[in-house]
């Protein structure tokens, strides 16, 4: 029989899907506009230390080079955003937009002189936040989400290194740093430790495992069968024949 979610839990799940879905739909709409207008929207990205490119801090996560770039970012940004809004519903907007603007501003200050586009900086920020927060708060569910996204987004670990010229590894690295810093800053916020819950349940389970109904029985009185055996009422057919004394 499958477990059913209570109404409050259902409401929480649905609400945590709203913002990630809207954000992802907006990314696809902007990509569709670029295709419709047959226009390269890369100029809306971040070009470091260019004052005219400052609006790119806001617009760059919505701009993607091609459909492959867009598809590769869609699943991780949706899953990680959902995890953030589900487990950290009270601070989700703060964390999301802090990662958003911290990453963009740092890229504008310190990245290579080229246009930096895409939502991957946010993805690395969310992944780092959820992962390190899971370690700090000892929550297995958060670690599982981050590891799942790392598995789906196979190049996530290598993305912080400059191994490909066309990849904005600076966005990845700076996004991850932003997520790590926010995980420490909000270390007292979020879901409770799953490990502590298990430890609290262990003593009760041990008591149940070590409990034996016969332990409370008195040890002095032998069972009725043993009494009968001693008095000779019956003999176990598998017992050897008792030694009989020699007749005179």
**pLDDT tier, 212 (very low <50, low <70, confident <90, very high otherwise):** low
Mean pLDDT of 186-198: 70
Q: Is the pLDDT of residue 233 over 70?
A: no
Mean pLDDT of 23-41: 95
Mean pLDDT of 95-124: 95
Q: Is the pLDDT of residue 171 over 60?
A: yes
Mean pLDDT of 228-243: 50
pLDDT tens by residue, 59-98: 999 999 999 999 989 999 999 999 999 989 899 999 999 9
Domains and CATH numbers, the chain: 7-194 (1.20.1540)
Which pTM was predicted? 0.73
Mean pLDDT of 84-113: 94
SS (H, E, C) the chain: CCCCCCHHHHHHHHHHHHHHHHHHHHHHHHHHHHHHHCCCHHHHCECCCCHHHCCHHHHHHHCCCCHHHHHHHHHHHHHHHHHHHHHCCCCHHHHHHHHHHHHHHHHHHHCCCCCECCCHHHHHHHHHHHHHHHHHHCCHHHHHHHHHHHHHCCCCCHHHCCCCCCCCHHHHHHHHHHHHHHHHHCCCCCCCCHHHHHHHHHHHHHHHHHCCHHHHCCCCCCCHHHHHHHHCCCCCCCCCCCCCCCCC
**pLDDT tier, 146 (very low <50, low <70, confident <90, very high otherwise):** confident
């Amino acid at each position: 029989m499958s477990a059913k979610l209570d109404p409050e839990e259902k409401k929480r799940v649905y609400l945590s899907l709203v913002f990630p879905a809207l954000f992802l739909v907006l990314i696809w709409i902007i990509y569709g506009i670029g295709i419709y207008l047959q226009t390269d929207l890369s100029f809306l990205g971040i070009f470091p230390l260019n004052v005219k490119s400052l609006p790119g801090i806001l617009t760059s996560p919505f701009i993607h080079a091609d459909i492959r770039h867009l598809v590769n970012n869609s699943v991780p940004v949706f899953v990680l955003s959902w995890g953030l809004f589900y487990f950290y519903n009270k601070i989700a907007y703060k964390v999301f937009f802090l990662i958003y603007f911290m990453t963009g501003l740092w890229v504008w200050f310190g990245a290579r002189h080229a246009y930096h586009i895409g939502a991957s900086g946010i993805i690395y920020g969310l992944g780092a936040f959820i992962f390190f927060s899971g370690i700090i708060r000892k929550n297995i569910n958060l670690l599982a989400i981050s590891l799942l996204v790392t598995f789906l987004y196979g190049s996530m670990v290598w993305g912080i290194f400059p191994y490909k010229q066309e990849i904005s590894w600076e966005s990845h690295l700076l996004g991850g740093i932003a997520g790590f810093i926010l995980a420490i800053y909000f270390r007292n916020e979020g879901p409770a430790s799953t490990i502590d819950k298990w430890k609290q349940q262990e003593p009760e389970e041990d008591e149940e495992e070590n409990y034996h109904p016969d332990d409370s029985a008195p040890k002095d009185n032998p069972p009725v069968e043993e009494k009968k055996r001693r008095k000779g009422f019956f003999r176990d057919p598998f017992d050897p024949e008792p030694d009989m004394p020699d007749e005179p």
